[in-house]
Amino acid sequence: MNKVDLACLAKEDAFKLIGGDWMLVCAGKKDRFNMMTASWGGIGWLWNRPVAFVFIRPERYTHEFVEAEERLSLSFFTEEWREALKFCGSKSGRDFDKCKETGLSAVELESGAVAFGEARLTLDCRKLFKASMDKASFIDRDILAKWYSDNPGGSLHDVYVVEIESVYGVK
């Protein structure tokens, strides 16, 4: 993995990158971390900083790590890793060693954040902001029924805005 200029993100189709390719959100330290697949989120600008935003339900094991850490990484892969992403998006790190099951290898970034050697693009991010969605804030109430009716009285997503501090690409 090579550190590359942030400007290389301009060559990416962020719409496809997150919604189509999906990403792994990973937080923790090399000896104890967890990752999950996410396809909701975005990259762009906020407070004049390059940022990403991700939405993580509190019941995810990954949430525990994201909460505990100052940083998280976002990793993007080529199509050959689709099955690995499906696994990380359907099984919990509470029950499985996701690296062992998928063949992904964890690497420690310069910042101490954990990412994956097989990724074609990695964003090393620092948390800036967190908010928990609340039911009263939904303007389109149909979304509540569609996405959260399986979880009555339960939690909605937490949104994290993270600053993209470094970008890594493949050689």
Ligand X SMILES: Cc1cc2nc3c(=O)[nH]c(=O)nc-3n(C[C@H](O)[C@H](O)[C@H](O)COP(=O)(O)O)c2cc1C
Among all residues, whose Cβ is closest to ligand X?
A: 89
Considering only residues 83 through 112, tell me which ones interact with ligand X, judged by CB under 6 A: 86, 89-94
| Shortest distance, position 50 Cβ to ligand X, whole Å | 20
Considering only residues 58 through 77, tell me which ones interact with ligand X, judged by CB under 6 A: 60-62
Tell me if 34 contacts ligand X by CB under 6 A. yes
Among 55, 106, 128, 159, binds ligand X (CB under 6 A): 55
Task: Note the Cα 13 to chain centre separation in Å.
Answer: 17
Residues with Cβ within 8 Å of 87's Cβ and at least 6 positions away in sequence, in order, are 96, 98, 101, 102
Give the number of residues in contact with ligand X, rule: CB under 6 A.
20
Tell me if 2 contacts ligand X by CB under 6 A. no
C-alpha 55/C-alpha 29 separation (Å) is: 21
| Shortest distance, position 48 Cβ to ligand X, whole Å | 26
Tell me if 138 contacts ligand X by CB under 6 A. no
Tell me if 42 contacts ligand X by CB under 6 A. no
Q: Which two tokens stand for residue 107?
A: 């690497």
Measured from the CB atom, the residue of 6 and 68 that comes closer to ligand X is 68
Using CB under 6 A as the criterion, which residues of the chain lie in contact with ligand X when the complex forms?
22, 34, 36-40, 55-57, 60-62, 86, 89-94
